[in-house]
Chains A and B, each alone.
Chain A
Amino acid sequence: MNFLHLSGGLVALGLLGLAGVLFLLQQLRVRQREVEVVTTLFWREALEENRARVLRQRFRHPWAYLLLLAITSLLWLALAGLVQGERDVRPRWLMLDASAGMLRDGRFDAAKEQLLADVARLDASERRVYWMGAGVELLLAPGEEVPLLAARLEGRTPELVPPLVAASLARWATEAGEAAPEVLLYGDAPIDEATRAALPADWSLHQRTAAPETVAANRGILAAGVGEAASGRWDRVDLTVAVAAQGLALNEAVAALEVELDGAAFELEMVAVPGGDEGLAMLRAADLPAEGGVLELRLPAADGFAADDAVQLHLPERRPLRVALSPDLDPLLGSLLSADPAVVLTRIDADVQVVRTDDAMDLAMPRLVIHGDDGGALFRLQAERGDDAQLLLEEAYEALGLGSIDALGLATSLGRAVTVDAAIGGPAEIRLADALLDPELGFTGSRAFPLLITRALRWLRPSEALLPYVAAGRAVPSEATRLLGAPQVMGAAGEAELPTHGAVAVGLFAPAASLPADRRMTVDDLPAGARAGIPAWTWLVLLALILLVFEGLHYRRGRMP
């Protein structure tokens, strides 16, 4: 037995106080009375009994006292919020699917209505209600009541994300506490057999809402993303789009696809490529300009699900690398860099500088330094990447193509060992000993030399990693885009910011929402067990009410003081 509002001691004190107050009231001389005495012999006795100007009288009517004490005690205990002690109630998790698919066919309203009804019927002590949208939110904690849930759901609509119920359930299954929960599902997020099988045996799943019997026809964009141009052009990307239709003609959907680049209509030649299926067309467009524009693909919104009718993609921005070349360097370097179409030689706003020792124009700018041979390492690397110089060296070995250099030939020609040093810290820098540029050495004429120079510039100023797509509710598909070391997971579809790429458009790309399977879901009964009941303190109040009426009745009849 517990109390919600007062402590046990305070409750006991209150009861004692009530008993005392009632005791005093019981002794209160309530009103004057006329007493007839038949003989003066009793005068003194009657006088003593009904002494005038005396407030107290002796304690009488103990049953009346007890009745009033019972009534007030009941009210006091109710006021203190008497509740039953811990009951062995199984946890219940009520999960409201708030993914994009619930926007269709009035599913969300139906699920919400069912949820509110169920919450009112279920015992509140171990009942949790979760919002399963872009993330998981606790809508109703144990003990909280329906109006709070209604208030928290007020105005909320499903979010543009794929359903996360199954994944969340599977994850929670590995973290659950001792008591196995009963899980009540509101919405039609698919729970695949693998997920069901992965749940502990004592967990129970109850589907509380059914999918609608008819699914409105839809056509939508299931996927859209860019990749390196098959043409090999560094300043172009290719685009792939997956268009699906359910209950509508696929050909018409494909033909109706509109494309805009930066808000203006954009002519794009889309060709069908293998990989399509019944109701799914795979389209490809080649050589889109990688100039950072926003590409929008749009289908006419005359179907049952508008959320998948339009997709935006931020095309990558690939501009030439601006290299400041010190004029006193070997003209060979200038010729080599000029031959690279992705490099622009400039004197202003450079990204990377190529300089001779102590000639650095901007100490903060990444640089390739040709330094006088001091007998040290012929190749030296420096960068503020990680904290392990050995790892930096290993990474650079591949990135710079050092494996292609004829180190033995160089060593033989130079009469010394060819070594590479790496250090952590400072602006990114690669230092090459000028002995390497001696035409008689032959290194500048080898295939490895142009590879080394062009790769060195990219290593010093890495270009933005290509993001093929960004999808709601999924990890960003790029190793470069990690958040505190873990894959970065996106929220709902729309605009978002990535630390590595700035503004990106997050697509919905949720086949389960666009093409819901024709599933005949059986609605399960509300699980048996603890139902919502009238709180214990309410019963006390009801009893107090009955006793009050009883007491009043007796008072009317003059049987109570």
Chain B
Amino acid sequence: MLLLQPWFLLLLPVVAWPWIGKGAARDRGQALLRGVVLALVVLSLARPVSLVEDAAPEVVMLLDQSASLASGEADRGEEAATNLRESLPADAAVQTIRFGDGSSLGGALDAAVRALPPTGPSAVVLASDGAATALDWGRALANLRAQGIPVSVLPLADEADELRVVGLRAEGLLREGHPARLIATVAGRHERARLSLHREGEEGAALAVSPWFAVDGRREVALAFEAEQAGFVRLVAMVEGDGEGVDLRAADNRLARTVAVQDPLQVLHLAGRMQDGDGQLAKLLGPGFDLTQPASLDQVNLGTQSLVWLDDLEAEAVPASFQEQLRAAVQQQGVGMVMSGSAAFGPGGWSETPIEEMLPVSFVQKEEKRDPSTTLCVIIDTSGSMGGNRVQLAKEVARLAINRLLPHDKVGIVEFYGAKRWAAPIQPASNRIELERALNRLDAGGGTVILPAIEEAWYGMKNVNTRYKHVLVLTDGGVETGPFESVLRRMADDGMNVSTVLIGPETHSEFLVNLANWGKGRFYNVPNRFNLPEVILKQPATARLPAYRPGPHRVQGRGGLAWWATTDLEDLPPLDGYVETEARPGAEVMMSTVAGAHPLLASWRDGLGRVTAMTMSPVGPDTRGWQDWEPFGTMMAQALTRTAGEAEPFRYTLTRDGREVLLTAERNRPHALLPQAVVLDRDGDLAFLEVAADRFEARFTVDPANPVRVLAGRTRLVADPPAAPELQVDPRAALPLAGLAALTGGRELDGVDFTGLPLRSGAGLLLRERAPWTLALALVLLLAELAWRRRPQGTGGAA
């Protein structure tokens, strides 16, 4: 027993009053009764209470009053509430909570939990169609389950047949200038319906219109359109019906949502030979690609690029260090790389570079075993200074050089000894005997006059048609003056090289070195017969044939929709030229020539990134015939898009529950960067915490009535307020009422019979007032006291 107003016990002394004072306790019985009455009254003033177990059930009836209910269903709910009250014991408490306009199912369940005591037999009865304006019952469910409160359900019918738009979402990321799909969801029953997509406020002009379709319950319809500008756009999906069907309310035929449109794809375009290549490509590809050509490769941050495009570019234009960076960016950061153009695959010089290894095609320039034809003109100094051993040495060197020549080469011998003379006119090298005789005939005598001999050789070789022309001057280095430099340079311009051989013990002759330099030849010295040089007259011994194949060539496409989307592969025009390559094992070849099946468009993954090779120039003579082919731009855009890597180092997701927003950033490749994001129209960066490996979270609150717009890295994200218009609730998002009953231990009701309504087990606590009982007793005793003191006493009579 507890007292709520114990201070009233201070009045207890009044209980003794009947026994004290003048005239007290004449009648002990009366005094006792009065004392007890006074005591009970004072006790009542102190408000005695006691805690008792309470077995009376408490039930909260949740009545859905939303506009989505079918006609008469709200009244059915009200009747059920009346039936519930009547079926429960008299001491049961029933609270009715009506919800619907602006309040959600989750909110209603939450309110029911808050209305019930923490213990004791209690239950929730939910009369609803289950249509949910927001998927927000998770917390209320957890609370109901934790407190063991069963939820019984009375399913009400909804306006299922009304034609309405119940959802509009983007499929994947929308990007400026790229084809995109919005998925609109239509509910109801209609034999012919059509959806259209509009910009909010411009509903006269449709961005996209779907074909006519039938709806039987729920249907998702894709609307293709192209976002014109990056940013946040309010789009409206509108449905119209034609023919048989229910469409009573015009208001629910329209649904507006905010979508985020990303910036165009960033492409680092490193272009080579093509003049105005950027301009032509930009026109070809459309606005979905932002082609940038850096002034200097030193300042390029490859990690921020989606795609690097080496377009008709020769290897020497790209420093080796940048090539290494590019390889690392593709393989480790997922950057995409495209190489295209006949200049790149032809004589581009990419062989044996880091880039070549990354390509899905190998260069197949055929090597030709080639010994280029050469004309050798040997000029031998037979002046007096060459007497003795020296002229023999010169002859040996000449023999060696001549012996290296093949039959298709040509040889001539000029001797000079103050004058010049053709010892052997230019003739095929196969005339070995004649040449040998000419050499043998030579003997030393006379002066050293070189220039006329060189000029003679020049004139002699001028009309000879061989790949190489070489003049070999064999002398002991007597110095003379003359216009050597101009003569030799002109010879070099005519494709004739002059090498010099110093015969004799001296090791150096500045004069002969100069001759060799001017003549673009080499200088040798021959001190004795044991040091005869191997005079190099021609190189290389093999050569690569040009791999460029001028057209026209018929081409064929292959590969899945992922590469080609809507392009009709049966209709590819012929190509005017390409570079022959060979697909490497494992490469996907999306386009090839019909003849020879040489790859034209091939791709493969390289590390985390993708590399695509186009063995023709996208703009230029190779594709001249394609410029008027309408799908060419789309095809190119698709190839670039497919190759492009994820420039964003994190994959961001924005979810909201009313005012609470969660921004998740998942690292999509190994790196040490940290995510960054701002809420638009609000100051300051969001604070992320890495909550799991490579998963970062930022939590914040927003105005629940407005969309939240976030710029995370370079990704735009938007989340509309979660509550859908009451009449445009997606049937798929309904709260499964039977599941709710099963999960919480409730049951399905018919609205009439509530017997056996599942209640939470256990007794509750109740504070019971005892004052009514003490007051009742006091009242009875007071009346008894009155009767006592008025009771007849003895017999009376007149004296």
Contacts and interface: CB of A to CB of B under 8 A. Distances in A.
Nearest to B25: A556
Given A274-B674, A408-B569, A35 B118 contact: no
A468 B689 CA distance: 13
Interface in B589-643: none
Interface stretch (B242-250, B370-378, B404-412, B787-795): B787-795
Given A78-B775, A552-B34, A407 B561 contact: yes
Interface string B552-570: 0000011111101000010
B740 to A, nearest CB: 6
Contact of B674 (A30, A275, A405, A549): A275
Contacts of B793: 30-32
Contact of B45 (A238, A242, A487, A542): A542
Interface stretch (A100-108, A134-142, A454-462): A134-142
Interface in B464-498: none
Contact of B115 (A138, A225, A237, A475): A138
Interface in B218-255: 218, 220
Interface in B101-132: 102-103, 106-107, 110-111, 113-119, 132
B317 interface: no
Interface string B182-220: 000000000000000000000000000000000000101
Contacts of B44: 78, 541
Interface stretch (A146-154, A250-258, A259-267, A329-337): A146-154
Interface string A21-59: 110010011111111110000010011001011010000
A81 interface: yes
A75 to B, nearest CB: 5
Nearest to A50: B796
Contacts of B22: 556
Interface stretch (B84-92, B393-401, B429-437, B776-784): B776-784
A406 to B, nearest CB: 5
Interface stretch (B141-149, B265-273, B455-463): B141-149
B318 interface: no
A538 B139 CA distance: 44
A428 interface: no
Contacts of B659: 170-171, 194-195, 198
B736 A485 contact: yes
Contacts of B782: 71-72, 75, 548
Interface residues of B, number: 112
A22 B787 CA distance: 9
A203 interface: no
Contacts of A555: 789
Contacts of A28: 787, 790-792
B2 interface: yes
A484 interface: yes
A226 B693 contact: yes
B694 A230 contact: yes
B779 A145 contact: no
Contact of B560 (A222, A274, A402): A402
A174 B772 contact: no
A126 to B, nearest CB: 14
B17 interface: yes
B792 A31 contact: yes
A279 to B, nearest CB: 13
A195 B47 CA distance: 42
Nearest to B107: A175
Interface residues of A, number: 119
A390 to B, nearest CB: 8
B18 to A, nearest CB: 7
Nearest to B767: A148
Nearest to A544: B41
A516 interface: no
B239 to A, nearest CB: 18
Nearest to A25: B786
Given A448-B560, A484-B736, A486-B106, A145 B765 contact: no
A448 B558 CA distance: 12
A449 interface: no
Contact of B110 (A76, A170, A171, A485): A171
A399 interface: no
Contacts of B792: 28-32, 55
Interface in A172-203: 174-175, 192, 194-195, 198
A488 interface: yes
Nearest to B102: A174
A469 interface: yes
Contacts of A138: 113-118
B107 A171 contact: yes
Given A282-B690, A391-B220, A484 B739 contact: yes
A46 B798 contact: yes
A216 B703 CA distance: 35
A79 B767 CA distance: 17
B375 to A, nearest CB: 53
Contacts of A471: 691
Contact of A151 (B51, B657, B694, B797): B51
B2 A147 contact: yes
Interface string A524-561: 00000000001101100110110011001001110001
A427 interface: no
A389 interface: no
A284 interface: yes
Interface in B691-737: 691-696, 700-704, 733-736
Contacts of A541: 41, 44-45, 771, 775
A21 B783 contact: yes
Contact of B558 (A194, A388, A406): A406
A509 B739 CA distance: 31
Nearest to B23: A556
A477 interface: yes
Contacts of B114: 130, 136-138
B783 A72 contact: yes
Contacts of A136: 110, 113-114, 143
Contacts of B775: 75, 78-79, 541
A141 B735 CA distance: 29
A405 B107 CA distance: 48
Contact of B657 (A30, A406, A487, A534): A487
Interface string A478-510: 000001111111110000000000000000010
Given A490-B142, A548-B37, 6 more contacts: A32-B796, A145-B49, A194-B700, A408-B557, A484-B743, A556-B23
A-B pairs, top 7 by smallest CB distance, nearest first, are A225-B692, A32-B796, A227-B693, A468-B692, A135-B143, A238-B693, A403-B562
Interface of B: 2, 4-5, 8, 11, 14, 17-18, 21-24, 34, 37-38, 41-42, 44-45, 47, 49, 51, 102-103, 106-107, 110-111, 113-119, 132, 135-139, 141-143, 146-147, 218, 220, 557-562, 564, 569, 586, 588, 657-660, 664, 670, 672, 674, 688-696, 700-704, 733-736, 739-740, 743, 765-767, 769, 771-772, 775-776, 778-779, 782-783, 786-787, 789-799
12 contacts: A130-B114, A134-B142, A171-B659, A175-B103, A195-B701, A198-B704, A238-B694, A391-B220, A403-B561, A477-B695, A491-B146, A545-B41
